[in-house]
Amino acid sequence: MLLEVRDVHKSYSSPGKTVQALDGVSISLAAGDFTAVQGPSGSGKSTLLLISGGLLAADRGEVQVADQAPYRLASDARARFRAQHIGFVFQQFHLVPYLSVLDNVMAATIPTGLNGAAARAKELLAQFGLEHRLHHVPGQLSVGERQRTALARAVLNRPQLILADEPTGNLDRDSAETVLSYLGTFAEEGGAVLLVTHDDSAAARAKSIVHMVDGKIVDVSGGSGDS
């Protein structure tokens, strides 16, 4: 299994109240899986994604990525583990504002020191139609170009798992299409994708759709990608 989440509980405590963000969630993705997570705002989708990505420890339950338990690793080792196995894509892109497109992608090699990274980065950016944007900073890009840059950064180290949180939330249709089709290809080539989205047409690209309400999975259905 590339991602194995078993009976995970997570609550947030703020003064005066405690929110049960996840309440016994289990999910597993094998190579080739493309799973969408849907649910109303506040249902715990982002929390599930962060816990799956080794960025947020659960209160209870088991998480394994590529058959390893990231939360059993020390903080720095877990960071390197993330760099090697997981690619993140966020709604807000989170590009480093002062780095060029190429450097933003290359930043992923700071923890891994990947060989031949520059060539691969340019290759990926060309694949995403950004070869003429290599030396522009994010501020000079359209939102679609930004998300494609973020996507190139996410996959530079050849991760097995992509965790994407509303990656198309801010995008026009064409850009969204590029991102979603790449995610589909990624899964087809043996990766696994967990896509958080409230966009039905985006979710429909997945092989399966997990529906969450109030921190619980209430339904699992097949998407169009399943066929």
Partner 1 sequence: MSVWHLILREIAHRKLNFLLALISVAVAVGCLVGARTLLRSNQLVTADILAAKQQQVEDDVAKQRRIVQQEGAGLQDAMRKITKGLGFNILILPEDQDLHELHVEGTGSQTMPESHVDKLANSRIVTINHLLPVVSKKISWDEYDRTIILTGTRGEVPLAHRDLKKPLLDHVPEGTMVVGFQLHTQLGLKKEDKVKLMGREFTITETYPERGSADDSTVWVNLGEAQEMLGMQNLVNAIWALECNCATLDRVAEIRSDIAEILPGTQVIERGSEALARAEARNKAKATAQAALKYEEQAGQESLQREADGRALIEKQASDFAAVLVPVVMIGCGIWIGFLAMMNVRQRSTEIGILRAIGLTSTQILAIFLGKSVLVGLVGGILGYAGGYAVGVAWSEYAPDAESAEVLFMPSLAIIALVVAPALSALAGWLPAMWAAQQDPAVILQGD
Ligand X SMILES: Nc1ncnc2c1ncn2[C@@H]1O[C@H](COP(=O)(O)OP(=O)(O)O)[C@@H](O)[C@H]1O
Interface residue list for ligand X (CB under 6 A): 12, 14, 19, 21, 39, 41-47
Find where tokens 């994604």 sit. 49
Which 8-state DSSP code applies to residue 100?
-
CB-based contact 184:225 (threshold 8 Å): yes
Q: Which two tokens stand for residue 53?
A: 């990505």
8 Å CB contact between 25 and 44: yes
Identify what 89 binds: partner 1, Mg ion, ligand X, none; CB under 5 to 8 Å per kind: none
Q: Which stretch binds Mg ion (CB under 5 A): 3-11, 43-51, 67-75, 78-86?
A: 43-51
Q: Output 91 or 178, the one with its CB closest to ligand X.
A: 91
Tokens of 214: 């109030």
Q: How far is the CB of 59 from Mg ion (least distance, A)?
A: 19
168 binds Mg ion (CB under 5 A): no
List CB contacts of 35: < 8 A, sequence separation 6 or more. 27, 29, 192, 193, 194, 195, 206, 207, 208, 209, 210
164 binds partner 1 (CB under 8 A): no
* Residue whose pair of structure tokens reads 């039905």 in the numeric block: 200
Between 42 and 129, CB nearer to ligand X: 42
Question: Which residue, 10 or 148, is less far from ligand X as judged by CB?
Answer: 10
Candidates 29-37, 96-104, 175-183, 211-219; binding stretch for partner 1 (CB under 8 A): 96-104
Residue 91 as a binder of Mg ion (CB under 5 A): the answer is: no
Instruction: State the binding partner of 43 from ligand X, partner 1, Mg ion, none, CB within 5 to 8 A by kind.
Output: ligand X
Give me the least distance between CB of 55 and partner 1, in Å please: 5
Q: Which is nearer to Mg ion, 46 or 197 (CB)?
A: 46
CA-CA distance, 186 to 141, in Å (whole number)?
24
Instruction: Evaluate whether 179 touches 168 at the Cβ level (below 8 Å).
Output: yes
- Cα separation, 26 vs 145, whole angstroms: 34
Told to check if 197 binds Mg ion by CB under 5 A, we report no
Q: Show contacts with partner 1 in window 193-222 (CB under 8 A).
A: none
Are 224 and 195 spatial neighbours (Cβ–Cβ below 8 Å)?
no
Q: How far is the CB of 35 from ligand X (least distance, A)?
A: 15
